Amino acid sequence: MKSSQKKKKFATGIRVFLVVIGVFLTAFGVEMFLMPIQIMTGGIIGISGILSHVTEMEMGIFLFFLNFLFLLRHIRIVNRIRAFLATFSLILLTIFII
């Protein structure tokens, strides 16, 4: 294996690790601080929180379906690695929030 390929794989591994940390911190912040105090943020997380509160369904389900439309658009525009990271982070965020 060439050293440039090793560097690319290492950089991708670092990106995946950072995505996991970021998703975990986001889910932790939403579930431990925002939801118990019933503070809603703006954007998709806020809309998901409101829908979750009104319907008493899991917030992660709304997060997944509301973000899925943006994800489909994102996949067409960016390269494969970024599309994979976006899909991976959405699925991981859904799992962590549920």
Segments making up each domain of the chain, as ranges: 3-97
Q: Whose CA is closest to 86, among 38, 9, 22?
A: 22
What pLDDT, on a 0 to 100 scale, did the predictor assign at position 97? Answer: 87
What pLDDT, on a 0 to 100 scale, did the predictor assign at position 17? Answer: 93
pLDDT along the chain (98 residues), means of 10: 80 90 91 81 85 88 88 79 84 89
What pLDDT, on a 0 to 100 scale, did the predictor assign at position 1? Answer: 58
Instruction: Give Cα separations from 90 to 5, 6, 8, 10, 38 (angstroms).
Output: 27, 27, 23, 22, 23
Integer Cα distance of 39 and 20 in angstroms: 24
Instruction: Give Cα separations from 15 to 10, 24, 64, 86, 95 (angstroms).
Output: 9, 14, 21, 11, 19
What pLDDT, on a 0 to 100 scale, did the predictor assign at position 85? Answer: 85
What pLDDT, on a 0 to 100 scale, did the predictor assign at position 18? Answer: 93
